[in-house]
Structure 1
Amino acid sequence: MKCIICGGKDYKLVKKGVRDNPLINVVKCNYCSHHQLFPVPESHKINEIYDNDKQVKSIYEVIDVDAIRVKSITDTERRVELTKKYITSKESRVLDVGTGYGFFVNIMKRYGYDIEGLEIGNERRKIAERMCNKPIYSYNLLEDVPVAELLKYEVITMFQMLEHITDIELFLCNARELLQTQGKIIIEVPNLKDHMLSISEEYKEFFWQEAHISYFSPEMLNQVLTRSGFKDIHIFGVQRYSIENMFHWSLNKKPQIYSTSYNTADAFSWIDEYYKNELVKELKSDTIIAVAYK
């Protein structure tokens, strides 16, 4: 056992088994407090998860990409609006790392931005290329940094993917090499301080999974970015799921797989807005975002 952040070898067991693999545990490093899987899945196992889209297949009986696109539109549009704030012009180059099915890249491209995608999963990359009508890169930032890509981008985005990486510092350092001198990186990850973890045992059981190797608190996300050479780091919360989703977990003891609620009906929107704002203010939202500079 070795912490993938600080290299420490002293740890505490947090959870025995995860939702899709009883043989993998979650541990907390006693030196830096990082939470991660133990043992960390081997490279060929991780590649198999990506290439065959196993994370999504573990949730959905049948993968309907169009249905997932519609379900994801709230997230996609939010990410587009966030990213636009950090782009100085439509000529600025943007790289989306972990493109998935290409929903984000597709909308940014339609808005006229010069954006490229990077996706190492074979099934997802093929779908993204059809979705975006353009090639999607497949190089692995844990293995190489193509010389032609160095100093190329003003903005790099990583939405819900850093938690999948086995060597976070190497990955972020290599991504940093792709940025221009004043380049920015935008990272979105699940929040280890998500308030649902303290109020629902069923949610907590569902939270830990084989595909998520690391679990980030705001403090740990700041630490890994600092260790990787980034500066002027800003971290804030985003509550993706609505108060209705919280009640669903509380009452039904299971996730809303096919009808996930990001927003509530108009008559109750004020309650939902208050709920989300309070969680964001306390950094107990389900998601945290970091914006950092090279």
Structure 2
Amino acid sequence: MNDRQCACCASTSMKSIAPYGAYDHVRCEECGYESFRSPAAAIAAHLYENDTDYCDDLTVASTHEDLILWHHRNAVEFLRSRYPSGNAAVLDVGCFNGFFVKKLLSLGFDAHGIDFNTRAVAYGQKALGLGPRVSSLSVDQCIARGKRFDVITLFEVLEHVPAVRPFLENVLKLLKDDGVIIISTPNNNMCWRPPLDYPPHHLSRFTIASLNACLSGLGMKSLYAAEQMSTYELVRHYLGTFFRAKDRSSLRGGEFKCERITTGLRRGMNRLRGTANLLLTPVDKGLHRLGIRYISQIIVAGR
């Protein structure tokens, strides 16, 4: 695939946008996929493990349920409809501490997770009681073991990957012939762009069209897709910018200032998420009808 060919739809309509620091920035005019390219694009695991802001996610949730987001709930709804008795083996690629693995286990699924962040994995193994169900195995190591899964989930993972299509092609080797893959990413059509949606944290931006095109090119067919509108998440992320130090080299656009205060605020906001989203449902539905989106999107595909 050449530099001007889209990684998702394979068109040659990639156009340059103004660079972002040391990153070349290109956009596909056909499917809306965007890529930030740099010789040093990939973020090493130890940078995530040692990033204070990122690792705070281990402590700002009172329970694993506090980490369950819109895309996880959509996935659960789909899985319970497709596998009502829970008889499915699920692999969560990029599982962080395994909070979604724990959620699926509570619903009767045979769930496992992998993540290159050994600190998060160790937390999940011990604090969440997941043991060997979560590990730091790579996709290649999983393939070598020969186990295949009914379902593979990739929540907020693809935007971190420098080479999207080869990565997905490899992941699909772990999927059974009649299996499904569930992918969520930030929506490139979101109404406001938070600092975390830039390099080095995020290297790609997707639309439903670009995700569908990429999966179609790999022999998959879309079964379900949805775009989120969450006023709660929009307000939370916007207010969060006032508590961050501006730093383009940071994984999320700047570390939080006054860590003791912000950690307490984040923990409280996590606890309020469910109630806030419920109360704001009429607002979210109205904005969604107007074509306003924030922040995530999800697609489910099978062979």
- For the superposition of Structure 1 and Structure 2, which TM-score range results when normalised by the shorter chain? 0.7 to 0.9
Q: Is the 8 A contact 1:164 1:214 kept in 2?
A: yes
In structure 2, the residue matched to 1:291 is 300
Q: TM-score scaled to structure 1, two decimals? A: 0.76
Q: 1:65 aligns with which of 54, 58, 67?
A: 58
Residues 172-198 of structure 1: per-residue CA shift (max 9 Å, x gap): 22222222221101111100001224x
In structure 2, the residue matched to 1:127 is 123
In structure 1, the residue matched to 2:146 is 149
- Counterpart CA distance in 1 for 2:285 and 2:274 is 13
In structure 1, the residue matched to 2:215 is 225
- Counterpart CA distance in 1 for 2:77 and 2:31 is 34
Residues 197-229 of structure 1: per-residue CA shift (max 9 Å, x gap): 4xxxxx4x4532312111101111111111222
- Counterpart CA distance in 2 for 1:227 and 1:8 is 15
- Counterpart CA distance in 1 for 2:6 and 2:196 is 23
Distance 1:40 1:84, change over 3 A: farther
- Counterpart CA distance in 2 for 1:36 and 1:89 is 40
- Counterpart CA distance in 2 for 1:216 and 1:189 is 7
- Counterpart CA distance in 2 for 1:252 and 1:26 is 25
In structure 1, the residue matched to 2:23 is 24
Q: Is the 8 A contact 1:155 1:183 kept in 2?
A: yes
- Counterpart CA distance in 2 for 1:92 and 1:234 is 19
How far 1:238 moved relative to its partner? Answer: 2.4
Q: Is the 8 A contact 1:4 1:166 kept in 2?
A: no
Q: Which runs of 5+ in 1 are unaligned?
A: 18-22, 198-202
Residues 251-285 of structure 1: per-residue CA shift (max 9 Å, x gap): 8864797236645659x92xx21232245453723
Residue 284 of structure 2 corresponds to residue 276 of structure 1 = yes
Q: Is the 8 A contact 1:79 1:104 kept in 2?
A: no
In structure 1, the residue matched to 2:108 is 112
- Name the Cα RMSD after superposition: 3.4
- Counterpart CA distance in 2 for 1:213 and 1:122 is 22
Distance 1:265 1:7, change over 3 A: closer
Residue 148 of structure 2 corresponds to residue 164 of structure 1 = no
Distance 1:113 1:263, change over 3 A: closer
How far 1:169 moved relative to its partner? Answer: 1.4
Residues 20-46 of structure 1: per-residue CA shift (max 9 Å, x gap): xxx335432467642111215345x43
In structure 2, the residue matched to 1:86 is 82
Letter in structure 2 aligned against 1:36: S
How far 1:287 moved relative to its partner? Answer: 0.8
Q: Is the 8 A contact 1:11 1:30 kept in 2?
A: yes
Q: Is the 8 A contact 1:102 1:132 kept in 2?
A: no
Q: TM-score scaled to structure 2, two decimals? A: 0.74
SS at match of 2:61: helix
How far 1:163 moved relative to its partner? Answer: 1.1
- Counterpart CA distance in 2 for 1:134 and 1:212 is 30
- Counterpart CA distance in 2 for 1:156 and 1:249 is 28
In structure 1, the residue matched to 2:45 is 47
SS at match of 2:200: coil
Letter in structure 2 aligned against 1:11: K
Distance 1:73 1:252, change over 3 A: closer
SS at match of 1:105: helix
- Counterpart CA distance in 1 for 2:146 and 2:292 is 35
> Quick one: percent identity of the two aligned structures?
21
1:186-265 equivalence runs, <5 A: 186-197=182-193, 203=194, 205-239=195-229, 241=230, 243-247=231-235, 254=242, 258=266, 259=269, 262=273
Q: Relative contact order, CA 8 A, sep 6+: which one is greater? A: 2
